[in-house]
Amino acid sequence: MEIGYFGLNQGPFCEPENMAALVQTLEQLGYESVWTGEHVILMDPHEAPSPVPPETPFLDTIAALSFAAAHTRTLKLGSGIVLLPQRNPVVLAKELAGVDVLSGGRLLFGVGAGYVPREFETLGIPYAERGARMTEHIEVIRTLWTQERPTFEGRFTQFSGIQSHPHPRQKPHPPIHVGGMSAAAHKRAVAQGNGWYGFFLDPDATEAALKSLEEAASQVERPAELGALEITITPPGPVDPDTAKRFEDLGVHRLVLMRSFEDMGPRADGEAKGRVMQFLEETAVALKLA
């Protein structure tokens, strides 16, 4: 089971010196990957279901992954997640292909549908369309990444007689990890994703989600070229070796750990970076990463 870290582009890790120290430490300690979060805008004043206070800093995902690529050599770079219905998929395909090329083929493309209606309202995108946009945008990006003469005729995107180069370094394309806990998200992961990403789940919740994914697999067809569905989980805080083993026994392929949301928020104190670095070192020893 691979071990990653969530929180590259938030809180104190929006500062370049802290970001560089984080990704280089992860690489040196034997972590497999680092992952971003994403909210393009936040509600002010804070209101549910928006997850964090409005002054929480989030660096743009593409900018953060590009910075991380330039400061590492082997660490995989995950978007955990891009809110895909809020993006122009043609532009995003170009941006992410650039990350994969410049990193030497290290991109892990995580996507989600989003769940905060006012974010969509602000961006001028109908909230009710997010599922349909998510499904279509995945195929738009896959088309642009893989076809020699890309053509697409969809509800939201249409093109022909175009080119978008360079294609990603990874072939046929960077792995696509579909996030979300709904039945629709699970069906989308089975039908379109190389993997599924579950966020803030303990082993019991993970077991329930995996059963839902099995049910989805009985209802929708999975293209053979996608292979086995890879499972990525972010638990709600640190894990000890016994808990990590429970996740592994359930069939989890990757844990993307975080210490605490307090390390990433607007009120993170000057010691947050140090706490995270200590957490990474202690976890690397406990889970025998090196």
SS3 107: strand
User: How far apart are the C-alpha atoms of 186 and 192, rounded to whole Å?
Assistant: 10
Q: What is the pLDDT of residue 267?
A: 67
Give per-residue pLDDT as tens, 77-111. 999 999 999 999 999 999 999 999 999 999 999 99
pLDDT of residue 33: 98
- Nearest CA to 6 out of 203, 280, 248 is that of 280
pLDDT for position 135: 98
Other C-beta atoms closer than 10 Å to the C-beta of 124 total 7
Percent of the chain with pLDDT over 70: 100
Tell me the CATH architecture of domain 2-286. Answer: Alpha-Beta Barrel (3.20)
pTM: 0.97
Can you give the pLDDT at residue 110?
A: 98
What stretches in the chain show pLDDT beneath 70? 267
User: How many helices (H) does the chain have, and how many strands (E)?
Assistant: 9, 10
pLDDT digits (tens, 9 = 90+) for 23-66: 999 999 999 999 999 999 999 999 999 999 999 999 999 999 99
Element (DSSP H or E) covering residue 152: strand 152-153
Q: What does the alpha-carbon distance between residue 230 and residue 178 come to, in Å, rounded to a whole number?
A: 10
Q: Where are the beta strands (DSSP E) in 41-116?
A: 76-83, 107-112
Q: Are 237 and 258 in contact (CB under 8 A)?
A: yes
